[in-house]
Structure 1
Amino acid sequence: MIRLIFVVLLLLCGFYAHARFTFSEPRVMGWLTQHTARALQGDSAACDDYTDDVKVELTAKGQRGRWEVEGGKAELCGYLKQSSAALTVLQAHTQTEFDNVRITRGGFPWTTARLQYTQRTSVQAQGLPGMSMVSEDTVVLARTASGLRIRELQSQSSGGL
């Protein structure tokens, strides 16, 4: 009986430690940086980083007005394909920085985390003036058996086209 209690206690401690490691700032920011790179390069694996029931709310104010993307995974993946195709055609070089990062773990025992940050992206394309975009983003990450997945995405950006 004591062995059983010890094993259960050990498993709970391991699950807790895994959650703490998974949602640590270096781990989350490394994953987010890789996801952003895949999305900008048009890698279809970027769509796999979203849950099937993801909720998306993107708002951008640019030189040509305001536009919005709302919906789920299909809308977001369509947007990512269009954006990366435009960057590919322009042979653009992008640089992204993340500031003001805040991670709030939630869901016992830390099965989700709310990630808030400021993203600054600059785009350089040959023959075109450089562009800079700044966005305030909130992402809800879910810890799944296959790794981190984005459950919710809210973004308000300015700059760009």
Structure 2
Amino acid sequence: MGSDFQYQDAEQYMRNIDRLIEVVQNKTDYNIFYSTPACYTKAVNEAITKWPTKQTDFFPYASAVHEYWTGYFTSKPALKGLIRQTSNYLNTIRQINTFAGDEKTNEWNSNEQVLERAAGLSQHHDGVTGTSKEHVTQNYEYRIFNVKEKSRML
């Protein structure tokens, strides 16, 4: 559960969650329901009067022998900058196309849609954190540069 690209069929996934909620509601004293982060944090804050403080460091994290995860905040600054610039660029294109009333931007292979997919993919948890392998980083950059060049015609 929670692996990369795990939830491709949202409708089926949500139906399964609905079934799980129904079973738990009918067979236990638990009250489970769909919620929001705001609702959750409000309930937790009301239940806990004093939060524990962690005194040790979280980093580096080792997921296996000789596999350390470091540099979340400092690695690959060029990629992180590119991701931010691309998001800004995409938002600008969306605004221009909205004011221009361009209906073609909703087409699957329009430059805006391709740029949106490239920007979204680069914001994957291994992309934006800088923990992706080098060939993956290069693929993010290739996708972004390729479509940004095409979208200059917009």
Q: TM-score, normalization: structure 1?
A: 0.29
Structure exhibiting the larger radius of gyration computed from Cα positions: 2
More helix by proportion, 1 or 2?
2
**Greater relative contact order (Cα < 8 A, sep 6+):** 1
More strand by proportion, 1 or 2?
1
Q: TM-score, normalization: structure 2?
A: 0.30
